[in-house]
Amino acid sequence: MKKWLTVILAVSLVCGGASSAVASGKVKTYKNCTELNKDYPGGVARSADTKNVGGKTKYKPFVSKALYDANKKSDRDKDGIACEK
């Protein structure tokens, strides 16, 4: 019984823990960094191993290739992280 509860909880966290902009199947395009940072305070990274060339940031970026590609125009320094703070 305990094992099943653990499995169900883990699956619900994985499925329900994803951002609504990505989980719904549609990738949201934000008009500017102010709007994107409301949902993702650390910005959006293309991959988990992307390094920030702009220096130290306050927040860790959310990793999503699809979301980054949809908002690539907001990556001013072209380091693979859009709207990093």
- State the pTM of this model: 0.68
pLDDT of residue 72: 96
Residue range of the domain that includes 72 = 2-82
Domain count, the chain: 1
CB 63 within 8 A of CB 47: yes
CB 77 within 8 A of CB 50: no
pLDDT of residue 11: 54
pLDDT of residue 57: 83
CA distance 10 to 5: 8
Q: Could you read off the pLDDT of 12-69 as tens digits, one per residue? A: 555 444 444 555 578 999 999 999 999 999 999 999 998 887 777 889 999 999 999 9
